Structure 1
Amino acid sequence: MAKSAFLVMDVQRTIVERFGDDPGYLPRLRRAIDAARAAGIPVIYVVVGFRPGYPEISPRNKTFGQIAARASAGGGFTDERATEVHPDVAPRPEDVIVTKKRVSAFAGSDLDMVLRAAGIDSLVLTGIATSGVVLSTLRQAADLDFALTVLADGCLDSDAEVHRVLTEKVFPRQADVVTIDEWIKTA
């Protein structure tokens, strides 16, 4: 029998503020998190964060190099507020919080170790952005032989068409893609 974990990825206060044009997102995600807990499925939060000075970031890294450059002007992902999960979907004390250093939830984190130690072989993916953490994590998790479910409306992207193509055409090759309501019925 599969043992699942529910991943809430990059739903940090500062990231939600940048993707905040869907007022229904956090309440939908909260319902899914509550359903996972009610079904006894562990909830794991994945956040992106770095040490002060960004020693983990190479200037050759196009995505994260820009973050490090902006951080020198006063922003970034090194302080508590930047790495804080949005309070509307905040973790409970029993939840695991994993800090990653790249786009995939597995890259530069101990996520795989946490999952293997708990005997987890199936993942439910949610997060911001569909074309970022969700895509990268899905690809790596599939290569690690996890069974996968993506909650399409539990993911956000700044480009609605990219979100649609990923959830309707790309993700179904490696995952079951369902809505939160559909998933809650089976959780």
Structure 2
Amino acid sequence: MVATDIAYPKQDIVIHSLQGAQHAQIQKNVERFGSGSVKMDVYIDKMACKPGEGLQVTVEINNQSTSSVALKYILYRIQSRISPTNSTVVIFPLLEINAKAVHSQSKDNITKLITIPRGTPPSISSNSPVEILYALKVCLDICGSSFLYLHLPIFILPDSLYYVKRQHQQQLLDASKSVVAEYSKPNQQTQRAGKRPTKPRSIDNPPNY
């Protein structure tokens, strides 16, 4: 499978289907300040994991060019807020790891264990006004040329059932607060404008004789 963009499932995600391994590959010809081609294969042992767990990422690099390449891993969160009128997408980098360089006319096989930071919020799939998605970007910086990269989707599972229960309770609390705030507003249709109270007039002092 050749992948250069993130491909998330549109339907509800089934947890057991996320335990399988991932594989993606890409190849590019070096044209600026060099010649030849660079090919990269990325293997991940699983797609879903919990905070604190590790993803084993194996990268096979076949650098048949005249330039050296440097490997980098970037884990980031994609948070979207969707409304009927507009949508907002914000990207938060979580991790950035630099690996060793691969010299020209050589091959290398690099394996790295990437640990998901503790406290990372779980993924929220589609059919929700707020979506939280994660992706791992495996990037090759070709010296004197452009970048070569792959995006692989990562699904973050809840750390525990306690987190799911706490998140549900927080949602209920926010909903109850919004209802109370709505009913506490004055009814503008039945409210009548009363007369402005007048200041009592003082009695004039009697004239001096």
Smaller-chain TM-score bracket = under 0.3
Higher RCO, 1 vs 2 (CA within 8 Å, ≥6 residues apart): 1
Larger strand share, 1 or 2: 2
- TM-score normalized by the length of structure 1: 0.22
Instruction: Considering fraction of residues, name the structure with more helix.
Output: 1
**Larger Rg over CA atoms:** 2
TM-score relative to the length of structure 2: 0.20
